[in-house]
Amino acid sequence: MSAEADGRYLTREDAAEAERVVVKAGTNSLTDDDSKLDRLKLDKLVNDIMDLVERGKEVILVSSGAIGAGTGRAPTANSSVEDLQAAATVGQSDLMRNYDESFERYGKDVAQILVTHHDLEDSRRFNNFRNTVETLLDWGVVPVVNENDAVAIEEIQVGDNDIISSSIAVGVDADLLVTLTDVDGVYTDNPKENPDAELIDEVREDEIDEIWDYVGEDTPDFGGITTKVEGAERVNEEGIPAIIAGSQVQNVLEKVAEGENVGTFFAPEVDE
């Protein structure tokens, strides 16, 4: 990116210049109330991603939704780990079929990559992952990454993709991590419960502890805002900015690419 690192905090304008962006989309951004894949939501996400691609940016999509979509298609599935794993495999192919069709509207190819934490922690496997991603991006194909729920039962927990997307952003030298969710960003309290909660526009890396006071490090809402803030904090430590924003916001990624005040911006401090 064009930011001149001179011992300062990166800005939204710097983030707008990002050449390589990891976009993470959560289950709520892709499924309806009956846990069925919502094609309108998925098409909107794809339109938003294409706003970035058509500006010449490289986008790696980390998409949840396999378990959500799978339980919608396998109504007999219960909440046992085995059933959730199996449901994820049903949902994952549904997800990819829909991504394939949706990107096809733009003549774009997509590629499915399923990973586990082990793959990202093992340097040889991560190197292979990275080479594949680089090749796909060279080809103009959009990589769509999700956890491999069939083989990694400890990862059958919503929220893991927030952490996986931050590891990927760091590992592939992304310039920006955007986490899309069903709230408009980080609030001073839970906006679903407190109407007076206020959206926080920007968090500098040295202010992150105050944010933990708001969102609560120990809240049990795995998959809620906690893991998203954790992901933002992790990439900030590596000098990468992050934005947590609402997937339903109109042209949300175009706004990011214009440096507009959308969602909550996490500003890392960068060295000289």
Per-residue contact string for residues 77-116; x = within reach of ligand GLU by CB under 6 A: -----------x----------------------------
- Integer Cα distance of 65 and 47 in angstroms: 18
Residue of 149, 175, 205, 254 that binds ligand GLU (CB under 6 A): 149
Q: Which is nearer to ligand GLU, 18 or 88 (CB)?
A: 88
Mutual orientation of helices 160-171 and 225-237 as an angle, nearest 10°? 20
Q: Which is nearer to ligand GLU, 243 or 267 (CB)?
A: 243
Q: Which is nearer to ligand GLU, 27 or 102 (CB)?
A: 27
CB burial class (10 A; 0-12, 13-18, 19+) of residue 232? Answer: buried
Nearest-5° Cα angle at 99, 98 to 104 = 100
Q: Per-residue b/e over 150-175, b at no fewer than 16 CB within 10 Å?
A: eebeebbebbbbbbbbbbbbbbbebb
Measured over the CA atoms of residue 40, residue 45, residue 51 and residue 53, the dihedral's sign is: negative
Q: Quick one: CA torsion of 193, 176, 252, 249, rounded to 10 degrees?
A: -10
Name, in order, each residue with C-beta under 8 angstroms of 70's C-beta and a sequence gap of 6 or more: 77, 84, 86, 87, 88, 89, 90, 91, 92, 94
Residues present in the chain in total? 272
Q: Which is nearer to ligand GLU, 51 or 160 (CB)?
A: 160
Q: Which is nearer to ligand GLU, 26 or 72 (CB)?
A: 26
Q: Which is nearer to ligand GLU, 34 or 209 (CB)?
A: 34
Stretch that binds ligand GLU, among 101-109, 146-154, 187-195, 213-221 (CB under 6 A): 146-154
CB 141 to ligand GLU: min, Å = 20
Residue of 35, 146, 167, 247 that binds ligand GLU (CB under 6 A): 146
Interface with ligand GLU, residue 147, by CB under 6 A: yes
Stretch that binds ligand GLU, among 37-45, 100-108, 153-161, 175-183 (CB under 6 A): 153-161
Residue of 66, 200, 215, 235 that binds ligand GLU (CB under 6 A): 66
Residue 198 tokens read as 């206020």
SS (H, E, C) 1-31: CCCCCCCEECCHHHHHCCCEEEEEECHHHCE
Per-residue contact string for residues 220-259; x = within reach of ligand GLU by CB under 6 A: ---x------------------------------------
Residue of 74, 137, 158, 208 that binds ligand GLU (CB under 6 A): 158
Residue 256 tokens read as 């990011």
The contact set with ligand GLU (CB under 6 A) reads 26-27, 64-68, 88, 146-147, 149, 158-161, 223
